[in-house]
Amino acid sequence: MRVQVRERKSPFIHLNDKANTHRGIVCEPFYVLSYYIGCPFECSYCYLQGTFRGQVQPVIYRNRERLLKELDMWLSQPGHLRLNAGELEDSLALDGIVPLVDDLVPRFIAQDRHTLILVTKSNNIRNLLKYRPNDKVVVAFSINSPTVWRLFEKRTPHPYKRIEAAARVSEAGYITLLRLDPMLPVDDWRREYEEVIRRVYSIFQPHQWTLGSLRFFPTLPMWTAKLGRNTQVYNFGVESSPEDGRRRLKGVLREQLYRSAMQIIREYDNDVPIRLCKETVTMYHRLGLPCMGCCYNTDFSKLRKKDHGHSGPDDEGRAP
């Protein structure tokens, strides 16, 4: 794997409030940490292909001391803020090559106001398991069906390996979310998604689900083609959403995907929150869900379902 190493000139943390400008799309503003940018995985549908105009090779920043100083200043703010360390990178894919977990997790478990959100398709959890977190570190694993993985998620771990990693992270005491996103109507999709959800509940109970489906700005297929990735991902029948200009699967199909997943989830857990990612208000209303978005207005302390029975952390939050 090739990476670039350079200094970052712009701030490492910024407020992403663009989604709030699109009326009719449910997504709350949130802070983004660019610990590094880019991704070693090669998902065909990844929005980073367009965000970075085809330059998706990971970029690691050598001025880490400034990053940590900026983070410490951010943590000193009043209130209860959310920091997403997986918007412009996969939070765990390069951990160990970069000390992301060791830099971030101890800082967040040492305070009780702000929340760190790690988002990943990786099963690289070794460093996470060194710590016993409080409710201020949330780990969201993106999973999908085996067929979607085989066709469109090149270089990522198999979804079942991600589920196993999520179970271990949950058992270690982290608030653990699952993102079934983007759902795609591949052949036999109902059976495959049902099997994925049943596999989850055979080993652990996630604290929250996020469901999403294919969505992209019109220029993204061009970048996917230039990068030599599988453009068939855009051939499932889409329509333009006037709310934000993205292309989405047709509304009836999205509703079928979501309802099918929700039905299986509710067989196992009537109380677990189910959210949608960057979906329309109309879709929330069709499904009878509150318009709350993924996780940026969630009180994560209320999601913990049980005491995991761990002994307490030491002074640095390390596992005994």
Q: Are 196 and 166 in contact (CB under 8 A)?
A: no
Asked, for residue 313, whether it belongs to a domain, the answer is no
The total number of structural domains in the chain stands at 1
Residue-wise pLDDT for 265-300, tens only, equals: 999 999 999 999 999 999 999 999 998 877 655 677
Taking the C-alpha atoms of residue 224 and residue 209, their distance in angstroms, rounded to an integer, is 28
Q: Whole domain around residue 127: which residue ranges?
A: 4-300
Asked, for residue 311, whether it belongs to a domain, the answer is no
Residue-wise pLDDT for 37-81, tens only, equals: 999 999 999 999 999 999 999 999 999 999 999 999 999 999 999
The mean pLDDT value of the chain amounts to 93
CATH of the domain at 31: 3.80.30.30
Angle (deg, nearest 10), helices 189-203 and 251-268: 30
Q: Give the angle 299-140-296 at the CA atoms, nearest 5°.
A: 35
Residue-wise pLDDT for 169-218, tens only, equals: 999 999 999 999 999 999 999 999 999 999 999 999 999 999 999 999 99
**What mean pLDDT comes out for the span 253-261?**
99
Per the listing, tokens 């990053």 go with 67
Task: Give the model's confidence band at 309: pLDDT under 50 very low, under 70 low, under 90 confident, else very high.
Answer: very low
Asked, for residue 119, whether it belongs to a domain, the answer is yes
Cα distances (Å, whole numbers) of residue 30 to 14, 19, 135, 218, 247? 9, 10, 18, 24, 23
Asked, for residue 52, whether it belongs to a domain, the answer is yes
Q: Are 180 and 159 in contact (CB under 8 A)?
A: no
pLDDT at 22: 66
With a cut of 90, say whether residue 159 has pLDDT above it.
yes
Residue-wise pLDDT for 117-147, tens only, equals: 999 999 999 999 999 999 999 999 999 999 9
Asked, for residue 312, whether it belongs to a domain, the answer is no
Asked, for residue 198, whether it belongs to a domain, the answer is yes
pLDDT at 57: 93
With a cut of 80, say whether residue 20 has pLDDT above it.
no
Q: Nearest Cα to 174, choosing from 305, 40, 26? A: 305
Q: Nearest Cα to 182, choosing from 150, 153, 157, 211? A: 211
Q: What's the full length of the chain, in residues? A: 320
Asked, for residue 238, whether it belongs to a domain, the answer is yes
Higher pLDDT pick, 265 / 17: 265
Per the listing, tokens 């993102």 go with 179
Asked, for residue 314, whether it belongs to a domain, the answer is no
The encoded tokens of residue 5 equal: 């190493």
Task: Give the model's confidence band at 319: pLDDT under 50 very low, under 70 low, under 90 confident, else very high.
Answer: low
